[in-house]
């Protein structure tokens, strides 16, 4: 069904619908994102730029005779939605490999691997997307499960959060992982009753088995980037913050944009292994202006679900304080190099200890500079005493609303009641004066603007569940949610002057849904359909 839906979206998408002349959008509610003038009758676009926003009569008088007239017929236009944190290559690869994000049990995972193995009888098997927190078995999968699904095959399946993976016995053998293999720094090899590895590799331990899966070729990665771009345009995204990017993928992405085979705005934050150019010259962009490289992406800790998030006090349901993934001296050296060329630092931090350490390192490096707009990615669990530091230091809280409505099924067990209020505190962040830029972390999550908007304003599961543990007081208003998904991501990438709202003089990025997300009941938000996506004045998706 996923592939059928994707095929339909791609069939409806045209990346070559650029049209000379003006584009006049009217005929439905238009939310500008501008406090002083939040609504308009029409938007007139010329030469990739918004020429006029206001009443229809004036817009028509300014439009060229050959202007393309786009009658919304009651649909609703917004400033272009931007996913502040995603992984573009991973989004495309998810559609090209074994996708396990709807797997509901260990038994279903085994069945899915078995079916995939039968359809692909040769070679290693890689998949991702599983998450065990809702499974009836109440446990991680292990090598015995994978061996039963496809005996003798090399199998590696990554957890949805990207911070853990499970490997088959053949994969462990190929990697040389035995009972005597020590845990790497920042990682953990889970053990079975016999004392040997049970197949679960946490955080940096994943590196021990990752190489048994052949890396995707440049051709495969190029195709993945194209698929991701088309899919995101079809969902209504006009751009994204692309995290943990390697130099090869940046080169492919730049080439695709130059060929007009990719048309979203992308702000790249490089993996340290591919960060040499940005650390040498500072932020830069390609010839199209769509592909910008802003800085580097680092990791302080792991994920809450796999108990890798760094906590100030032990987990409530297990021993340990989580994992620190970046060594202090290395992290500070990279930060100082970034600051020297005015590159941004985006640091992954989940746990309250991880966030505190990140704020400490930022403070030590920036030495009182509040203008750098460095970012903490996720900022999921933040201690009360650390919350005001975001605003005071000018640190962006790059948060993903959908994480909360998935994690809050298991977060109470991981954290306990005394510190549960520290989690996913979007409203507290905004009240403190911090900038909150919202995203999805796809392919960890689906990567759907409707889900992120719904989660931000309603804070219920997709089927409407919530209880007292979910702290519904952390939901935000619809106006705040719109800003979190439009202007705030622009600000977080030093682009608020050119995008993020529908105003004359700004880049022409527009998202249109068939219903008004600002007024429909919460459940209706999830049913909205993308009608039109405009990037840089070009229609990149039209239903």
The CATH number that applies at residue 69 is: 2.30.40.10
User: pLDDT value at position 13?
Assistant: 43
**Is there a single domain that holds both residue 349 and residue 461?**
yes
**Is there a single domain that holds both residue 319 and residue 424?**
yes
Mean pLDDT (whole number) for 461-476: 97
**Is there a single domain that holds both residue 375 and residue 233?**
yes
User: pLDDT value at position 8?
Assistant: 47
What percent of the chain has a predicted confidence (pLDDT) above 90?
94
User: pLDDT value at position 161?
Assistant: 87
Q: Where are the alpha helices (DSSP H) in 76-168?
A: 88-94, 106-119, 143-149
**Is there a single domain that holds both residue 364 and residue 423?**
yes
The CATH number that applies at residue 392 is: 3.20.20.140
Q: Which residues contact 423 (CB under 8 A, 6 or more apart)?
A: 380, 381, 404, 407, 408, 411, 415, 471
Using CB atoms within 10 A of its CB, is residue 78 exposed (0-12), middle (13-18) or buried (19+)?
Answer: buried
Q: Where are the alpha helices (DSSP H) in 120-191?
A: 143-149, 169-175
| Average pLDDT of the chain, as a whole number | 95
**Is there a single domain that holds both residue 249 and residue 205?**
no
Question: What are the pLDDT digits (tens) for 258-289?
Answer: 999 999 999 999 999 999 999 999 999 999 99
Mean pLDDT (whole number) for 35-50: 97
What percent of the chain has a predicted confidence (pLDDT) above 70?
96
**Is there a single domain that holds both residue 156 and residue 69?**
no
Q: What is the DSSP letter of 170?
A: H
Boundary residue ending a domain (210, 241, 271): 210
Instruction: Give the whole-angstrom CA distance, residue 517 versus residue 119.
Output: 42
Boundary residue ending a domain (183, 210, 237): 210
User: pLDDT value at position 134?
Assistant: 84
Is the pLDDT at 435 greater than 90? The verdict is yes
- With beta carbons less than 8 A apart as the criterion, state whether 440 and 243 touch: no
User: pLDDT value at position 14?
Assistant: 39
Q: Which residues contact 27 (CB under 8 A, 6 or more apart)?
A: 70, 71, 72, 73, 74, 75
Range of the domain at 150: 92-210
Is the pLDDT at 512 greater than 50? The verdict is yes
Confidence of residue 2 (pLDDT cuts 50, 70, 90): very low
**Is there a single domain that holds both residue 289 and residue 376?**
yes
Lowest mean pLDDT among 128-132, 171-175, 323-327, 426-430: 128-132
**Is there a single domain that holds both residue 142 and residue 270?**
no
**Is there a single domain that holds both residue 186 and residue 223?**
no
The CATH number that applies at residue 159 is: 3.10.310.70
Plot region of 260 (φ>0 → left; ψ -120 to 50 → alpha; else → beta): left
Instruction: Give the whole-angstrom CA distance, residue 379 versus residue 374.
Output: 13
Boundary residue ending a domain (184, 210, 236): 210
**Is there a single domain that holds both residue 183 and residue 253?**
no
Question: φ and ψ at 47, to 5 degrees?
Answer: 50, 50
Best CA proximity match to 526, nearest among 473, 449, 467: 449
Q: What is the DSSP letter of 466?
A: -
**Is there a single domain that holds both residue 480 and residue 522?**
no
Instruction: Give the whole-angstrom CA distance, residue 297 versus residue 355.
Output: 15
The total domain count for the chain is: 3
**Is there a single domain that holds both residue 494 and residue 505?**
no
C-alpha to C-alpha distances, 253 to 83, 260, 295, 486, nearest whole angstrom: 17, 11, 16, 23
């Amino acid at each position: 069904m996923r592939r059928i839906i994707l095929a339909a979206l791609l069939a409806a998408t045209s990346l070559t619908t650029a049209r000379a002349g003006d584009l006049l959008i009217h005929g439905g509610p238009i939310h500008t994102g501008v406090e002083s003038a939040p609504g308009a009758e029409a938007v007139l676009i010329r030469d990739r730029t918004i020429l006029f926003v206001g009443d229809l009569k004036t817009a028509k008088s300014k439009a060229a005779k050959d202007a393309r007239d786009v009658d919304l017929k009651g649909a609703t236009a917004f400033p272009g939605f931007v996913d502040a944190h995603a992984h573009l290559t991973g989004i495309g690869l998810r559609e090209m490999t074994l996708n396990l994000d709807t797997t509901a049990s260990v038994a279903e995972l085994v069945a899915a691997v078995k079916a995939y193995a039968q359809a692909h009888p040769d070679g290693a098997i890689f998949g991702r997307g599983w998450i065990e927190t809702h499974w009836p078995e109440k446990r991680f999968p292990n090598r015995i499960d994978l061996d039963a699904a496809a005996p003798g095959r090399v199998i590696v399946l990554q957890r949805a959060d990207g911070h853990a993976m499970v490997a088959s016995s053949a994969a462990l053998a190929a990697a040389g992982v035995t009972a005597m293999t020590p845990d790497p720094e920042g990682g953990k090899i889970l053990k079975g009753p016999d004392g040997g590895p049970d197949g679960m590799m946490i955080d940096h331990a994943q590196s021990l088995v990752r190489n048994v899966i052949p890396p995707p070729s440049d051709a495969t990665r190029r195709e993945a980037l194209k698929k991701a771009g088309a899919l995101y345009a079809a969902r209504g995204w006009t751009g994204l913050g692309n995290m943990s990017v390697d130099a090869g993928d940046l080169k492919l992405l730049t080439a695709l944009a130059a060929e007009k085979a990719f048309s979203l705005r992308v702000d790249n934050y490089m993996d340290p292994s591919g960060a040499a150019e940005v650390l040498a010259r500072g932020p830069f962009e390609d010839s199209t202006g769509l592909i910008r490289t802003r800085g580097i992406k680092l990791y302080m800790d792991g994920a809450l679900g796999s108990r890798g998030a760094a906590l100030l006090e032990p987990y409530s349901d297990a021993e340990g304080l989580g994992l620190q993934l970046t060594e202090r001296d290395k992290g500070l050296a990279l930060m100082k190099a970034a600051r020297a060329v005015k590159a941004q630092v985006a640091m992954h931090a989940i746990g309250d200890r991880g966030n505190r350490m990140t704020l400490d390192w930022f403070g030590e490096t920036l030495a009182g500079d509040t203008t750098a707009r460095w970012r903490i990615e996720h900022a999921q669990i933040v201690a009360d005493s650390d919350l005001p530091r975001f605003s005071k230091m000018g640190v962006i809280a790059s948060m993903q609303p959908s994480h909360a409505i998935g994690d809050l099924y298991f977060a109470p067990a991981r954290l306990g009641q005394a510190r549960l209020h520290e989690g996913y505190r979007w409203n507290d962040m905004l009240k403190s004066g911090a900038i909150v830029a919202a995203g999805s972390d796809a392919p960890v999550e689906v990567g759907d603007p409707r889900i992120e908007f719904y989660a931000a304003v309603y804070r219920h599961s997709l089927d409407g569940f919530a209880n007292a543990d979910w702290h519904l007081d952390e939901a935000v208003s619809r106006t705040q949610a719109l800003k979190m998904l439009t202007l705030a991501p622009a600000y977080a990438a030093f682009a608020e002057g050119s995008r993020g709202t529908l105003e004359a003089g700004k880049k022409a990025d527009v998202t249109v849904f068939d219903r008004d997300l600002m007024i429909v009941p919460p459940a209706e938000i999830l049913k909205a359909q993308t009608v039109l996506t405009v990037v840089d004045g070009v229609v990149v998706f039209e239903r």
